Amino acid sequence: MERAVPETGELNDSDVVLATLLKRRGRVQQRLALFLAGVGLLLLLYVSFQYWQMYAAQRKLALEWQQQSALPANISSNEIDPSSNGLTRLTIDKIRLDAVIVEGSSRKSLKLGPGHMEDSPLPGNSGNSVIVAHRDTFFRHLDELQDGDEIDLRRQGEVYRFVVTGRRIAEPTDLSALRQSSSAQLTLITCYPTHYVGPAPKRLVVVARLIATSKTAGE
């Protein structure tokens, strides 16, 4: 497209027009570059804000959880305001996960932490307690869990130790993972494939059973 300027230094009208066009195109390209960089920056800020929000929520919840765990032993659990207490902390050493569970599995809840499905019993109670979390945050390494790996849930001075007994890939419409059980069971669910940026057509289901309940030594 670019034409060499005649050595004589003489510019005719078409050269002037061409030069103007090239200059204008340069300006458009410059603006486009700035626009792309601006949009990119905004997206990065948005994503960072979302993760920061989650981090801040987890810190706040962890603080609440610590306060709750520090309550004197003579205060029974039913004396505690249920709307602000009863937080459960999920710890899986194998995948370096330590998070406080939020209530519900809505989009909003899952933005803040692993969500306990409201229709399932509390972790440690008899029945199938279901906890779901995002594959790109808390449950990123859930697929690394193997049979025998330990999962700890701590709530109000109690430690519920679960051991992984199985894992499978399920369709989103397969609700068998939510089925109730007679014994205490924990089911962790996240989207599958876990390490993939794109559609998540399936779910990874990890099942664990309660093997021990004990008192915490003090948090």
Partner 1 sequence: MKNVFLLIVAPVLLLTLGFGQTPATTDQASISGCLSGSDGNYTVTEDGTSQTYKVTSSAVDLSPHVGHDIAVTGQKTTATSSGASNSSVVVSGVSMISEHCATATASVPAVVDTIPAVSTNTSIEADPTPVATASTPPASDTTPAATASTPAAADPMPAATASDPAQPASASATETATNAPENTEQLPNTATSLPLLGLLGLGLLGLGLLMSKKLTRGTGIN
User: Alpha-carbon distance 102 to 68, whole Å?
Assistant: 15
Other residues' Cβ atoms within 10 Å of the Cβ of residue 52: 10
Q: Between 98 and 104, whose beta carbon lies closer to partner 1?
A: 104
User: Alpha-carbon distance 145 to 140, whole Å?
Assistant: 11
Of residues 98-157, which lie at the interface with partner 1 (CB under 8 A)? 103-105, 107, 110-111, 115-122, 124-127, 130, 132-137, 139, 155-157
User: Alpha-carbon distance 91 to 150, whole Å?
Assistant: 9
Provide the mask over 6-25, with x wherever binding to partner 1 is found by CB under 8 A and - wherever it is not.
--------------------
Burial of 188 (0-12, 13-18, 19+ CB in 10 A): buried
Contact region with partner 1 (CB under 8 A), list: 5-13, 56-64, 144-152, 176-184:
176-184
Of residues 54-83, which lie at the interface with partner 1 (CB under 8 A)? 76-78, 80-83
Q: How far is the CB of 146 from partner 1 (least distance, A)?
A: 21
Q: Between 6 and 40, whose beta carbon lies closer to partner 1?
A: 40
Q: Please check whether residue 117 is in contact with residue 109, taking contact to mean a CB–CB distance below 8 angstroms.
A: no
